[in-house]
Chain A
Amino acid sequence: MGVAVGLSGFAFGVTSAGSGLTLLQTCALSLLVFTGASQFALVGALAAGGNPFTAAAGAFFLGVRNAFYGLRLSQLLALPRAVRPFAAQWVIDETTAVTLAQPTRRGARIGFTVTGASLYVLWNLTTFLGALGAKALGDTDAWGLDAAGPAVFLALLAPMLKTATERAVAALAVLLGLGLLPVLPAGVPVLAAALAAPAVLYLTGRRAARARDDGREQRARDGAQEARDARGARDVREEDR
């Protein structure tokens, strides 16, 4: 996992520098934001000429998942309230995965601390090296490094596409993101594409509700039929008597 994080840190440094951010801005992002997908999204949106607030909004929405990680971790780690503001910065995909895999509270606390600390150091170090390296490389596009960002996104996305619902959300988001690109200001199409999530959730919810209603009607019809059959059987028995 360390190697993968190191490589994405390096790729982030290169991408960020290639997007026109200074070394200081690039390192500030890794130190202060410390959640990879949001950082990639932010520099991508800024490179496309996005307004700083729409760019930050996209990055923010990608970071919202960390709140749900924190929720599960807080029950598992049972940290004192005073420690939580310091632990919060390390609540990310990787630390959550390691912590949740520990069988005991002690193991979870050690896992969280060790993973958090080592990834924080590694991520920031490789970001710095990447940003420096980008300068040495000159034209980063010639090296194909502008493909690193979308490849990282795709690698993060692939394991999430487990059911038809997730695939439908992804497909709709791609259509919205690309379709609206020519007509909306930079950064806004991604936010519009985020609406694919509630839209698909609403549609699947309605379909589930309809299936339930159909089922209920079917049961009601079956029930009426059974009642008629029962009545018929009783009539037959009565006739026998």
Chain B
Amino acid sequence: MNVWIAVAVTAVGCYAVKLAGLLVPAGVLERPLVRRLAALLPVALLAALTAQQTFADGHTLVLDARAAGLGAAAVALVLRAPFLLVVAAAVVVTAGVRAMGG
């Protein structure tokens, strides 16, 4: 039930912001501070989410195979690999390290 609540709230919220962008007059969101904040908010959220999903196990911080996988993804990104290859590198390296008992 909890999952359905989360699904419903997210669906309504995400649809509402998409529609708001198409409906509101341009002036409301065009203020420089609002624009800067809107551009930086995803940066903060994505950075925190990347770190948590790599190093968190419940409420504790751990260093496991996922860190190696993310490292591989980072290298792929620096080498300007396509999106597909970046995700594949993370998955393959994580699986490999686990298979070796890491």
Interface residues of A (CB under 8 A from B): 3-4, 7-8, 11, 20-22, 25, 28-29, 32-35, 37-42, 44, 46, 48-49, 51-53, 55-56, 58-71, 73-75, 79, 81, 84-85, 87-89, 91, 141-158, 160-161, 165-166, 169-174, 176-178, 181-182, 186, 189-190, 193-198, 200-201
Contact = CB atoms under 8 A, between A and B. Distances in A.
A189 B51 CA distance: 11
11 contacts: A52-B5, A143-B95, A150-B70, A151-B70, A157-B47, A158-B77, A165-B40, A166-B43, A177-B48, A177-B52, A194-B45
Nearest to A45: B6
Interface of B: 2-7, 9-11, 13-15, 17-24, 26, 29-30, 33, 35-56, 58-61, 65-66, 69-70, 73-74, 77, 82-84, 86-87, 89-96, 98-99
Given A59-B14, A174-B51, A197 B7 contact: no
Contacts, number: 302
Contacts of A172: 44
A49 B93 CA distance: 26
Given A68-B21, A147-B94, A33 B11 contact: yes
Contact of B50 (A46, A52, A150): A150
A8 B99 CA distance: 24
Nearest to A85: B19
B21 A91 contact: yes
A151 B39 CA distance: 21
A58 B10 CA distance: 9
B90 A70 contact: no
A53 B8 CA distance: 10
Contacts of B46: 37, 62, 153-154, 156-157, 160, 170
B49 A190 contact: yes
A181 B56 CA distance: 8
A56 B56 contact: no
A210 to B, nearest CB: 18
B19 to A, nearest CB: 4
A147 B91 contact: yes
A145 B10 CA distance: 24
- Across chains A and B, which 8 residue pairs bring their CB atoms closest together, nearest first? A70-B21, A144-B95, A177-B48, A144-B94, A193-B48, A151-B90, A147-B69, A52-B6
